[in-house]
Amino acid sequence: MTPTLPAQLPQGIPTDFTGIEDLALRILGFFAAVLVVYVVGRLLVVPTVTRLVRSRNRNNPTIETAAETYTRLVVVGVAIVAGIVAAGFGDVLTDASIVIAAVSLVVGAASQDVIGSLVSGLFLVADPDFNVGDWIAWPGGEGIVEAVDFRVTRVRTVNNETIAVPNTELTTNTLTRPYGRDRYRVTEQLEVSYADDVEHALMTLVETAREDDRVLDDPAPNSRIVAFGGTAPTLQAEYWVSDPMDVNLVEVRSDFRRRVKRRFDEAGLTLGPPSTHELSGDLGVDVDPRDGTVGG
């Protein structure tokens, strides 16, 4: 009699493939459900929610970007749940002990920094004075807010570099928004000699700023004395330019400083005068006639 196929298989190989087929079908069902729900969510749900939020918050791009980010997270979560149900493990989701254990595992696996960044991101989104498109400054740098994500806030610097700043850094440090969305204030400080005409120096700073077509007329450039140092008074010039992403701030500052140096030289104004401290006293040298050694 011809031997059957199971009898020809090596020992240890299962002869019943029903369990393997069932597992393969469950895995296929899981990934198929995840893919379908995720694609539908990304193509329909996320754009719909984003448009709805945009229509109700037309002047708040922060809420719009945050709604899009968090809706994507919800879509991913729903897709995973749909995959679990499609794989035939829906009963697991109704077991409270398993759900609590899974949540505890996720929370325990996430570091304190990640959770802190997530919570900080929610506070930043809810802050009406913190918006996408604002120019902000913090102890670590400055730039325009592009997006607030779960863990980081993406900021575009004056050099057109996008940096990811941890949300906790923005919520735990001093955050400054000294500039409007459509203009940027440039501040320059310098010292002149006490013997110079300070009023003429202040006027020269304002006129020098106005020579640049990139400098705005409103607000008008201004200058003032901000401190009296031991050797020279400190002057400060302020002028505004349009959106700092539309102009080269590095070039604007450099051109301003070059013109100030040239005009101060023409006007006989001393830029950054040296210290005027004088040393006085006597210095004596004694020579020992016995051995020729020198003593003070």
pLDDT averaged per 10 residues in sequence order, the chain, 296 residues? 48 55 80 86 82 70 71 81 78 59 52 65 76 83 84 83 87 74 83 92 94 91 91 92 77 92 92 68 64 58
Structure tokens at 84: 């679990």
CB 133, CB 61: distance < 8 Å: yes
Helix/strand/coil percent split, the chain, to 5: 45, 20, 35
> What's the CA gap between 91 and 156, in Å, rounded?
47
In this structure, CATH architecture of domain 129-172: Roll (2.30)
- Same-fold call for 129-172 versus 184-267: no
Break the chain into its structural domains and give their ranges.
18-109, 129-172, 184-267
Instruction: Give which of 27, 19, 25 is closest to 83, Cα–Cα.
Output: 27
CB 205, CB 257: distance < 8 Å: no
CB 120, CB 161: distance < 8 Å: no
Cα separations in angstroms, 84 against 23, 46, 70, 207: 13, 22, 21, 71
In this structure, CATH architecture of domain 184-267: 2-Layer Sandwich (3.30)
Residue with tokens 């607000």: 219
Q: How far apart are the first and last CA of the chain?
A: 122
The total number of residues shown for the chain amounts to: 296
Specify the 3-state DSSP secondary structure of 21.
helix
